[in-house]
Amino acid sequence: MKHFLLLFIFPLYFTITAQAQSADFYFHNSAQAFINADMQSALDNVDQGLSQFPNDMKLNELKKRIEEEKEKQQQQQQQQSQDQKNNEQQEENEDQQQQDSQEEQQNEEDQEQKENPQESDSEEKSDLQEPKEGEGRAPKEISKEDAEKILKALAQKEKELLKEFKKQKSKNSAKHDKDW
């Protein structure tokens, strides 16, 4: 009778032990995939483990964490995509503004030439002439509108340089990997 009892209990003990090891096996494989940022593989392993061991506390908790992390990653990707679209739209707007200001400046110059064709020709000729020895070159006076145009052009150039700097900075900072 003792042998019969041992034959019955012994396989039952190993079956229970094997099941616990199997649940741990799925847990460890899933956790390793999670650590390696392979969310899909981690989720697949957890789902396989839960299909065999639906009440395993470790697997259920790990599945929650994987799903939270996966959702967080999706939100970050959506935010990056939205930021990229916003940056592209902003660049297009700035390019359009620059083009408009250049066209406006050209139109104003054309208008000035139509109004005072002799004056502009004489100014061009005087700019080409070099001052004679002993004569200092008198500072050229510019109109208020021309000064504003120059300031706007400088401000636009500064914006472009800042935007370029930010792009380079964001490209360099986006390449960091987790080192754990």
Supply angle C-alpha 81, 84, 90, rounded to 5: 145
Question: Would you say residue 92 lies in a domain?
Answer: no
Question: Would you say residue 97 lies in a domain?
Answer: no
Confidence band (pLDDT; 50, 70, 90) for 123? low
Q: Is the pLDDT of residue 17 over 60?
A: no
- DSSP label at residue 137: P
Question: Would you say residue 122 lies in a domain?
Answer: no
* Average confidence (pLDDT) over 34-42: 89
d(Cα 101, Cα 156) in Å, to the nearest integer? Answer: 10
For residue 65, count CB atoms less than 10 angstroms from its CB and return exposed for 0-12, middle for 13-18, buried for 19 or more.
middle
pLDDT of residue 4: 52
Question: Would you say residue 41 lies in a domain?
Answer: yes
- For residues 7 and 97, the model is more confident at 97
Confidence band (pLDDT; 50, 70, 90) for 21? low
What mean pLDDT, rounded, does the chain reach? 78
- For residues 180 and 18, the model is more confident at 180
- DSSP label at residue 64: H
Residue keyed to tokens 């899933």: 30
Question: Would you say residue 51 lies in a domain?
Answer: yes
Per-residue b or e along 85-98, where b marks 16 or more CB atoms closer than 10 Å to that residue's CB: eeeeeeeeeeeeeb
Task: Please state, in angstroms and as integers, the Cα–Cα distance from residue 35 to each residue in 49, 61, 68, 82, following that order.
Answer: 18, 15, 14, 27
Question: Would you say residue 44 lies in a domain?
Answer: yes
Question: Would you say residue 13 lies in a domain?
Answer: yes
pTM, rounded to two decimals:
0.42
Question: Would you say residue 27 lies in a domain?
Answer: yes
Q: Which residues are CB-contacts of 126 (< 8 A; sequence separation ≥ 6)?
A: none
Q: Residue 6: give the domain boundaries.
A: 1-76
Q: Is the pLDDT of residue 50 over 90?
A: yes
Report the number of distinct structural domains present in the chain. 1
